[in-house]
Structure formats: structure tokens, C-alpha cells
Amino acid sequence: MKTQQNLIVITGGAGGIGQATARAFKNQPIIITDYSQDSVDKTVESLSKEGLNIVGGIACDITDKIDIEKLVNYVDTKGTLKAFIHTAGVSGTVKDLKKVFTIDLVATELLVEAFHKLAVKDSVAVLLSSMMAHAVPENKAYDAALKNPQAVDSFDIVSKYVNNNSDTMYNFAKRGVQLLTHKYANKWGEKGARIVSVSPGVIETPMALKAAEEHPERMEMIKQATPLKRNGQPEDVASVICFLTSDAANFINSTDILVDGGVIHNIKKMS
């Protein structure tokens, strides 16, 4: 028999922001999912030792509809969905336009559609976008493709605008993530549920530190351009995510929250 506990489901749960988010929820029941079962198991064990209420962990290839269905069914057996927090993704360092588009945007829509089945009143979906999405201007030509990433021609349309650059594709895909919060707001709203996105700036996770190694001058430039003169920490993002899923944020919907120390406005002035 299914329990009525209000579950927090975190994709990319083995990552820096994923783990920080789990810690931010303290005693609430959490399900961790990530690409590798081994990393899921290690994360579940580690966070459980810290005293967190980890009620389950399961591997999921977020680009695979069958795997996503397994994840949704697994969550459904554990309780009621309070929050679906989607932190999984790749950066432009993978150097593969299709991979970035598929993992960061197509998979996001697949998950939003699948988790809608579990949404109830006061459920919340929090999607991770990026401050760099705010560097991509509004444009009807590619926005329609970003908003409908599963359409057969969407990748080809967007590709025309990214100059064969995987970092630029990342920025476009993350703009698409924000557009999905508008696309699905009414559908989630019919259930009394919300959908929002969070746009981190440079956050010192393993993924960002790898980018820093590849582009040290650019990363230092961004740090110096940040009004607070520091990079973000995973906890800076986690605390905002936690707030957005709380009753204190129950009228915040279909919008994006920047967590970037104010740097994107300075970056846009420079370009």
C-alpha cells in the first residue's frame, strides 16, 4: 500500500547541486536518481549517513522514455509527489551539439510530461536553467523549436543559430528549459501544481570546475564581473530551490529565478 509521504525527487542527485539540494530538505523524504546506479547507491549511502531521510534511489537515463516510466512508477510506489527537482544535465564541454540539446532540453520535456501524471495540488516542478539562457535573445524563429524540442526538425532549426558551438547550444537549450515552464504552466496548474526554473550562475560544482580548467581566463573574467566578486556555491542554488517548493512561494509560477550574483547583467553589457 502506498504511503502518503510527500516526496522530493531529485534528478542529477549525485551531482554537486543535487546533493546540496537534498541536504537543504533536511528531514523530508527524498528519492535520488542519476544516470549510474553505482553513483546513486553511493550518494544514497553517503546522504543517509548524514542523517537525511533518503527513502530510495534509482538509476535513470533521462533521454529514455522507458527508463523515465520506470522512475515515475518507482516514485509512485513510495508516496505522493511534493517536488520534482531536475538538476541533471551536461555542459557545453561535451562538445556534441545533439547530446547537449537532447540531454538538456528534450529530456527535460520528457520528464515534465511524465511527472505531470504524479502531480497533485501543491506539487512543484523546479527545472534548472542557466544564467546563460538570459544571454539568448527572444526570437520567434528558434523559440518555437526550443519550446517544442521533440519535433523532428527542432534540433536542425536551433543548430543554424549556434555556429557549431556546443557552449552556445547549451545556452539555447537552457532558454528552452525556461520556455517549457510557460508551455506547461496551464497543464500543471489544472492540478493546482506549479512549474518554475532556476538559473544558476557560475557555481563551484565539479562540472563548473572542469569548465574553469578549460577556460580559465573566461572564468576569472566572470568572477571579477560579478558584483559580489565570488562564484556561487551549490548551497546558494539549493536554498532557492527549497524556497520555491515551499508554501512561502505558492504564488510563484511559470517564471525563472536568477541565482548568479548579478553577473549576467554585466556580461550582457560587455558583449
Q: Distance between alpha carbon 31 and the CA centroid of its chain, in Å?
A: 16
Rounded to 5 degrees, φ, ψ at 52 are -75, 155
Closest CA to 198 of 100, 108, 82, 98: 108
- For residue 160, what is its C-alpha cell? 543554424
Nearest one of 11, 75, 80 to 241, comparing CA atoms: 11
161 is catalytic: no
Q: 271: buried, middle or exposed (CB in 10 Å: 19+, 13-18, 0-12)?
A: exposed
Cell of 11: 534528478
Q: Which three cell numbers stand for residue 82?
A: 511534493
Pairing of strands 54-59, 80-86: unpaired
Nearest to 58 by CA among 77, 69, 74: 74
Burial string for 78-104 (b: 16+ CB within 10 Å, else e) reads bbbbbbbbbbbbbbbbeeebeebbbbb
Cα–Cα distance measured from residue 184 to residue 95, given in angstroms and rounded to the nearest whole number:
30
Beta carbons of 100 and 119 less than 8 angstroms apart = no
Catalytic site residue from 35, 74, 142, 170: 170
What's the alpha-carbon Rg for the chain, to the nearest Å? 18
Strand 256-259, strand 124-128: pairing: unpaired
Whether the Cβ atoms of residue 121 and residue 82 lie closer than 8 Å to each other: no
CB 161 within 8 A of CB 146: no
- The catalytic residue positions are 170
